[in-house]
Amino acid sequence: MILAQLPRFHLSILARPSFSLSSSQFNFLNPKPPVTVARTLFSFASKSNLATVEPIPLPVSESSDLDDAPVEISLDKLFIPPETDVSGDDPASLTARILKGSNIVLSKYARDAQVVQADYVKSSVKTEDCPADGLPEFALVGRSNVGKSSLLNSLVRRKRLALTSKKPGKTQCINHFRINDKWYLVDLPGYGYASAPHELKQDWNKFTKDYFLNRSTLVSVFLLVDASIPVKQIDLDYASWLGQNQVPMTMIFTKCDKRKKKKNGGKRPEENIKEFQDLIQGFFETTPPWIMTSSVTNQGRDEILLHMAQLRNYWLKH
Ligand code: GDP
């Protein structure tokens, strides 16, 4: 049974009211026809499932380091994978099915999550040059310095694998790493380099967008956002573009271990995360999946792998 294999769950439900949205607040901008059924299904949680259960507040984490400011999420902000019915769940059993530090409900497809082998395969400058073996893949993207290399190394438990992507000539490439000979992690160029020449910025914009729109084996983009600093417009723009183009997206909030409040009005990770969610809600029909992570404490590592596993196994079946 799948639930027995899961790493850790938060076990209690908070009694306090949560913030919640009415469905009329969702506004899908500029919709275009879906590329494939699988891509579309993973973009959005099933509304019928959501409608059958009373909204309840849920804690994001039970861990003590977040006790001072727990984040709560309401039922309509959960990511419920396709073929996952929560209508029969009471609040306690539903809570137990949510991945710790995330809004993601586990499905029957969450299995085979471990990474036992990771190999660098190739660096491509065009979508057409990417591996053609049809294996499913997940693309990691985010502002430079967001912690992408650290996360990649933490996911595969290798200290220096992501250094490959940082070698001269490869920072602006689509870098493929094959995992367990079954799927790919793809490291995309970091964006937002203040010093990058204009032409270089334009070019990566063109080829990463082409990759997002035309890579048929791309199961989901993992957009990394630094939760330790205030929301950046460039990250909002990126999320907005993905939403408007119906590219399935999971948000990975990085550096969640950085909890010291700065004197000049700096906010805690969960406050920055909430603000980011509020600002992007208009770009998506329903809330995209999100996970809190830290490459220092390995928070979120197992959760990301389980989420990738359930997306991947569903994708392979359809
Ligand atoms: P990249 O440019 O996105 O690949 O970012 P790196 O992985 O190279 O990380 C940029 C900086 O952030 C480095 O100094 C890392 O040590 C630091 N960093 C990365 N992840 C974390 C994290 O989860 N927590 C903390 N506190 N620092 C991190």
Q: Is the pLDDT of residue 303 over 90?
A: yes
pLDDT band at 73 (very low <50, low <70, confident <90, very high): confident
Q: Is the pLDDT of residue 32 over 50?
A: no
**Is residue 87 within 8 Å of residue 144, measured between CB atoms?**
no
Which residue CA neighbors atom 9 of ligand 1 most closely? Answer: 147
Which residue CA neighbors atom 15 of ligand 1 most closely? Answer: 147
Q: What is the pLDDT of residues 236-266, one digit of tens each?
A: 999 999 999 999 999 999 999 998 766 666 7
pLDDT on residue 66: 45
Q: Is the pLDDT of residue 92 over 90?
A: no
Q: What is the pLDDT of residues 80-89, one digit of tens each?
A: 999 999 888 8
Q: Which two tokens stand for residue 264?
A: 């000049």
Pocket test for ligand 1, best of 140, 143, 150, 191 (most atoms within 8 A of CB): 150
C-alpha angle with apex 306: 300 to 308, nearest 5 degrees? 100
The phi and psi torsions of 157 (rounded to 5 degrees) equal 55, 40
Which atom of ligand 1 is nearest the CA belonging to 145? 2
Pocket test for ligand 1, best of 65, 141, 145, 273 (most atoms within 8 A of CB): 145
Q: Give percent above pLDDT 90 in the chain.
A: 54
- The helix (run of H) or strand (run of E) holding residue 207 is helix 198-214
**Is residue 109 within 8 Å of residue 310, measured between CB atoms?**
yes
**Global pTM?**
0.80
What 3-state class would DSSP assign to 240?
helix
Which residue CA neighbors atom 22 of ligand 1 most closely? Answer: 255
Q: At what angle do helices 233-244 and 269-280 cross, to 10 degrees?
A: 40
- 298 touches ligand 1 (CB under 6 Å): no
- Return mean pLDDT, the chain: 77
More confident residue, 314 or 196: 314
CA distance 182 to 180: 5
* The pairing of beta strand 249-254 with beta strand 290-292: parallel
Contacts of 13 (CB under 8 A, 6+ apart): 56, 57, 58, 59, 91, 92, 95
Q: Is the pLDDT of residue 6 over 90?
A: no
Task: Kindly give the distance from the C-alpha atom of residue 143 to the centroid of ligand 1, in angstroms, as a whole number.
Answer: 11
- 299 touches ligand 1 (CB under 6 Å): no
Which atom of ligand 1 is nearest the CA belonging to 299? 23
Q: Is the pLDDT of residue 52 over 60?
A: no
Please state the rounded mean pLDDT for residues 130-156.
Answer: 95
- 147 touches ligand 1 (CB under 6 Å): yes
Smallest Cα–Cα separation from 136: which of 186, 207, 188? 186
In DSSP terms, 138 is beta-bridged to: 185, 220
